Chains A and B, each alone.
Chain A
Amino acid sequence: MRDRTVPALAIACAALLAAAPLAPQWLVFLLALALAKGMVVLGLVLLMRTGLVSFGQGLYFGLGAYAAALLAHRGGIADAALMIVAGAACAAAVAAVLGLLLARYREIFFAMLSLAFSMILYGALVKSSALGSTDGFNLHAKGFAGIALAAGTERRLFYAVSVVVVFAVAWLLHRYLASHWGRLSAAIRDNELRVEYLGASVYRVVYVNYVAAGALAGTGGAFAALAVGHVDPETAYWTTSGEFVFIAILGGTGNVLAPFLSAALFEGLRTVANQYAPNVWQMTLGLAMLAIIMFLPGGLWTLLRRRGAP
């Protein structure tokens, strides 16, 4: 059974890039948002492969979004490339500090502590009227790495950039998971103690994975902020983090492509529920979630896997 991931990644990347100049605006927006969220979920999948579920990725998602937005709002720099780098760097920096603490926790305590930190950021953002409190503020990115274009084309450019970045990261993650550290992560999920006995440092692996997940979430946050054009504290709220966890479970942890499929499906599902059942969209979403959990316990990816597995 060959691993067809890399060709699939390449094909998907090419297809989405082709859509950049051709697809209608609303589709470009939808895909850009799905890719951004998918990136956050990629980080979650990495953590889940290590046996940890983080309910606080909203912290980095929000940090990435606000860092990118503040660069434009306060720093006067409206270059999208710099904004994305700023988002990723800011999130990675905070993850590097918090990871020192969080890497010691497991299971529900890891989840709740990560949730606590994301809610602390939420509280800080709400309190800050300079940052618009719960209203947030808008960001306008003009240009990417020096190239400035008209507003409509610019969005397509950002989208294309996000496609390239996302698939590059996905490929890197795919390699990482197949590598020595990736296998260590899976081993930690199975039995941490044995890994320690074998001489590897569990703490270090968890720490690195956590920082990577944080950086990914921050980049996703910056891309989402660019796509939507607005940031607000809701990005750091626990329901946002919960949404990411749901998308992760929906797709399953089988493959790096899974988060993007499930992110797109989730966005589509929510939109459809809102359009056709605006009075009962919550119930519709809940029923859909239950159906998927019951009939596709391994996530959507198992649907595709069945054809190849021995």
Chain B
Amino acid sequence: MSNILAVLFDGVVYSSWLFLMAAGLTLIYGVMKILNIAHGSLYALGGYTAATIAGAWLAAGHAAVGSFAMLVVAALLVGLVMGPLLERGLLKWMYGKNEVVLLLVTYAAFLILEDAIKLIWGVESKLLPEPYSLPGNFQIGTLAYPVYNLLLIAVAVIVGTALAWALYRTRQGKLLLAVIHDREVSAAMGINVNRVYLVTFTVGSMLAGLGGALTAPMIAVSPGIGVEVIVLSFAVVVVGGLGSLGGAALGALMVGIVRSLAVRYWPEAELFTIYLVMAMVLIARPKGLFSAPEARRI
């Protein structure tokens, strides 16, 4: 019994991490119809910034508890700086172009940011000692888990709920939903679509930065951590349905748990699981799990 519980827990931890990445990506795609490959770099930037800021905080001798807050600060910083920079500085000039071209633009941005990170932080990995082991461990059966994992899940749940509330309950959120649904009509109705784009991209960047910042204490932040994340997040977003927050959550949950089961009971297949899940979902529901019915233009 505790075995299954442990496997599920591992799956949910992984899903939470995936969700943070996928949520930002699906929002950006839903609103701007851009598949943002630079999301991987934003994740990496979040990790590096967190390592630097929290590292400086701890080195200065402040309370280790404060390093949590530093992680969030790092994420906010990444979002507020990189979001507008990328959106206003680069993407604004490319709107209206073919979707694939926009994807290549974000890929170019990804390449540039990868080397920029290397130039700023060097190639050595950055280690952040806390706050990973700070809250201690808890037990599931005979296995010890860091409480930090619970925090990760909690953050994902909070972020998900906050996003959902912001989208469906606030006025700004409904404007965003309107733009997701039909950009032209929204603009015709007087919605400032450009500002919606800016806000969306900034929020999406913050989420990616948060994913990186929260992961930083667990791993060695090194060049290339952004690459793997991209394909994983894309797969989750496509599985869940582009532009759907609930889809991102469900997709993340599916992928995370299936992967965890594979690791425990069939380790050789782990490499395939995410692509098999994606292929199977797309075969069953060609537009992803929660895709809105679209009007066809005749």
Interface residues, chain A, CB within 8 Å of chain B?
A: 53, 101, 104-105, 107-109, 112-113, 115-117, 119-120, 123-124, 126-127, 191, 193-194, 238, 242, 245-246, 249, 279-283, 285-287, 289-290, 293-294, 297
Contacts and interface: CB of A to CB of B under 8 A. Distances in A.
Given A109-B287, A113-B282, A286 B101 contact: no
A122 to B, nearest CB: 8
B119 interface: yes
B28 interface: no
Interface residues of B, number: 41
A3 B202 CA distance: 48
Contacts of B231: 115, 119, 238
Contact of A286 (B112, B271, B279, B283): B112
B138 to A, nearest CB: 34
Given A120-B275, A193-B296, A286-B111, A112 B104 contact: no
Nearest to A290: B108
Given A108-B242, A280-B119, A286-B109, A123 B100 contact: no
A146 B94 CA distance: 53
A283 B111 contact: yes
Interface in B106-152: 107-112, 114-116, 118-119
B99 A193 contact: no
A293 B94 contact: yes
29 contacts: A108-B35, A109-B287, A112-B234, A112-B282, A113-B278, A113-B279, A116-B235, A116-B275, A116-B278, A117-B275, A117-B279, A119-B231, A193-B297, A249-B101, A279-B115, A282-B111, A283-B115, A285-B111, A286-B108, A286-B109, A286-B110, A286-B112, A289-B105, A290-B105, A290-B108, A293-B97, A293-B104, A293-B108, A294-B94
A108 B278 CA distance: 13
B268 interface: yes
B298 interface: yes
Interface of B: 35, 90, 93-94, 97, 99-101, 104-105, 107-112, 114-116, 118-119, 231, 234-235, 238, 242, 268, 271-272, 275-276, 278-279, 282-283, 286-288, 296-298
Contacts of B116: 283
Nearest to A289: B108
Contacts, number: 104
Contacts of A109: 238, 282, 286-288
B293 to A, nearest CB: 15
Given A283-B111, A289-B104, A105 B282 contact: yes
B115 A104 contact: no
A120 B276 contact: yes
Given A289-B111, A297-B97, A123 B271 contact: yes
A39 B114 CA distance: 30
A191 B298 CA distance: 8
A123 B279 CA distance: 14
Contact of B238 (A53, A112, A119): A112
Contacts of A238: 231
Nearest to B287: A109
Q: Which 5 A-B pairs have the closest CB atoms?
A: A286-B111, A283-B115, A286-B112, A123-B271, A289-B108
A104 B286 contact: yes
**Residue from the set B275, B288, B296 with the largest chain A CB neighbour count within 10 Å:** B275
